[in-house]
Amino acid sequence: MERYALELIEKGKRIDGRKLEEFRPIRIKRDISQKAEGSASVKIGETEVIAGVKLKIGEPYSDAKDQGILIVNAEFTPLASPDFESGPPGEDAVELARVVDRGLRESKCIDLEKLCIVPGEKVWTTFVDIHIINHQGNLIDAAALASLAALLSAKVPKLDGEDILRGDYDRPLPVVFKPINITVGKVGEKFLVDPIFEEEGILNSKLSVSVRDDDNICALQKQGNGELTIEDIGKMVDIAIEKSKEIRKLVE
Amino acid sequence: MSETGEKLIIDGKRLDGREPEQLRPIQMEVKIINRANGSSLVNFGGTHAIASVHGPRALFPRWMQESDTGILRCRYNMAPFSVEDRKSPGPDRRSVEISKVARLAIEPAIFLEDFPKATIDVFIEVLQADGSTRVTGINAASLALADAGVPMRDLVTACSVGKIDGVLVADLNGKEDNNSEVDMALAMLSTKKKITLLQMDGSVNKEELMILLNLAEKSCEKIYEIQKKVLKEKYKRI
């Protein structure tokens, strides 16, 4: 299968008939959970990832007293793939969560200052929890998109003094930017996006690029044990900027 | 300008007196731990890292062995006293991620296929952190592998670049790192000029990104010269 996929890519084709720079069909469903402050499910082809947003009152960090907090966590649930095991998150889950986190944080996606309740004492902590439901490739892009869609649907709960009035909402979560993560893979001299599971095995270099609404790059992460030249990176970033516009339309 | 409003670049110079593209004083040494097959120490200004290599050695439990190749394992760890507020010992999410990307940064340089069923273990300890710890650790790991005599295609050289007060700079120190607009870590196979690690966060347009990549490559070339020099001096009498 891998050799076949490789031969096809060299000819500019894919196993599933797509073009190299074409995504599988994407379906986004918002508000999939009644209990979460925001939630979304994203399917990219067969790959399925859900993300839930919960808000909790917490203490601000000492170096950002007037800012809310963002925490991203990912679970590679063992139901999603025969390769996933239960237990604490492994290095792939940690990496995925941290790449998604950086995309959201560095793009200033959420206006954290608007999540301050009492400066220096109480702020909203926003938890984004990502669950992989089916791993058919390109998990980072799907997880980043699910997180963004969940944040866009999230609302800040009403407060009654110290208590959170669950289910009663004050305002939407202050989302300012919509960073889109695009992972571009390299095989030989060809570049492709949205690899399926079978293709990921032959991509020894991937670059995850988080692109903001103004086309600025807000996070990069090279993955795999392959090598890239500066020229490769330039081309991959160009592809990511182009594709991000198309994907962002789906959440607007 | 930093988040506290303090300027990080005054009259074109950085707070520690450096020019934008100037690296901190670099010190390197190999063979510092006699019980390891290879070891090294690398200091970039106030960032101090040591690395050791054990192996190639037999890998147990056996189910972890690969019959057609050796494997590389890598641990990046920060000493609890290496930072201002004590870091609780053991792996946290950050060090789990860095251990993974450091392994992938080094792997392409090693002839792992020469060591089926074996493992090469690389341990990086950050003893004092003042920014750019992962790249300092990767430089140390690369030297330790060479010191261990592990067959390599190339040395791996790493450096950080970024943007502070709107200026593109090389080798960020801790304060610059915390207040940077852009922060990028890059590692490359030194003579082939192939990038094996790239991480960036901040906000930057494509044009500046390309300038940063070129600055990183230029800085790696300087660091590579020092790595070569240290190894040649150590092994000149063979």
Residues sharing a CB contact under 8 Å with residue B207, sequence separation 6 or more, in sequence order: none
Domain that holds residue B64: 9-234
The answer to whether the CB of A211 falls within 8 A of the CB of A246 is: no
Q: What percent of chain B has pLDDT over 70?
A: 97
Q: Which residues of B are less than 8 Å from A234 in CB distance?
A: 206, 210, 213
Is the confidence at residue B2, as pLDDT, over 60?
no
Q: Cβ–Cβ of A217/B184 closer than 8 Å?
A: no
* pTM for this model (two decimals): 0.94
| B4 assigned to some structural domain | no
Chain B: give the shortest CA distance to residue A169, in Å.
Answer: 32
Residue B1 domain flag: no
Which residues, 6 or more positions from B63, have their beta carbon under 8 angstroms from its beta carbon? Answer: none
Residue-level pLDDT at B38? 97
Q: What is the CATH architecture of A2-251?
A: 2-Layer Sandwich (3.30)
Whether B204 maps to a domain, the answer reads: yes
Integer Cα distance of B19 and A196 in angstroms: 46
pLDDT in tens, A42-76: 999 999 999 999 999 999 998 899 999 999 999 99
Note whether A221 contacts B198, CB cutoff 8 Å.
yes
The interface predicted TM-score of the complex, written ipTM, equals: 0.90
Question: Does some domain include residue B227?
Answer: yes
Of A107, A227, A230, which is closest to B108 when you measure between CB atoms? A227
Query: Which DSSP string do the residues of B173-213 spell out, in sequence order?
Result: -HHHHHT-SEEEEEEEETTTTEEEEEEEEEEE-HHHHHHHH
In a domain, B140, yes or no: yes
Chain B residues whose beta carbon lies within 8 Å of the beta carbon of residue A230: 195, 210, 213-214, 217
Structure tokens at A161: 């003094």
Band of pLDDT at residue B236, cut at 50, 70 and 90:
confident
Higher pLDDT, A34 or B4: A34
- B12 vs A205: CA distance, rounded Å: 38
Q: What's the CA gap between B124 and B54, in Å, rounded?
A: 12
Side-chain-facing half-sphere of B119: CA atoms under 13 Å: 15
Q: What is the pLDDT of residue A155?
A: 96
> Measured in Å, how far apart are chain A's first and last C-alpha atoms?
37
Closest to B157 in 3D by CA, of B42, B18, B36, B45? B42
With CB atoms and an 8 Å threshold, state whether A220 touches B195.
Answer: no
Q: Is the pLDDT of residue B3 over 60?
A: no
Spatial strand order in the sheet of B118-128: B26-30, B38-44, B47-58, B118-128, B71-78
Indicate the residue of A63, A218, A227 with minimum beta-carbon distance to B202. A218
CA angle A122, A127, A129 (to 5 degrees): 170
| Residue numbers in chain A where pLDDT is lower than 50 | none
Closest residue, chain B, to A89 (C-alpha): B93
CATH of residue B67's domain is 3.30.230.70
Give a yes or no: residue B2 inside a domain: no
Residue B1's pLDDT is 45
* Amino acid A204: pLDDT: 85
Q: Is the pLDDT score of B5 beyond 80?
A: no
Asked if B198 and A238 come within 8 Å (Cβ–Cβ), the reply is no
Task: Extract long-range pairs of B9-18: CB within 8 Å, 24+ residues apart.
Answer: B9/B164, B9/B165, B9/B167, B14/B164, B14/B169, B14/B176, B15/B175, B15/B176, B16/B45, B16/B173
Task: Give me the half-sphere count of Cα atoms (radius 13 Å) on the Cβ side of residue B30.
Answer: 23
Residue pair B140/B185 in contact (Cβ under 8 Å)? The answer is no
Cis peptide before B56 (omega within 30 of 0): yes
In whole angstroms, give the CA distance from residue B148 to residue B41. 14
The H or E element spanning position A93 is: helix A91-106
Report the distance separating Cα A9 and Cα B138, nearest Å. 33
Beta strand B118-128 with B71-78 is parallel
Burial class (CB in 10 A: 0-12, 13-18, 19+), B50: buried
Identify all chain B residues contacting A102, using CB atoms and an 8 Å cutoff: 201
Looking at residues B88-97, what average pLDDT do you find? 95
Q: Mean pLDDT, chain B, as a whole number?
A: 95
If one counts the domains in chain B, the total is: 1
Give me the mean pLDDT over the B144-173 stretch.
97
pLDDT band per the 50, 70, 90 thresholds, residue B4: low
- DSSP string for residues in A109-127: -B-GGGGEEETTTEEEEEE
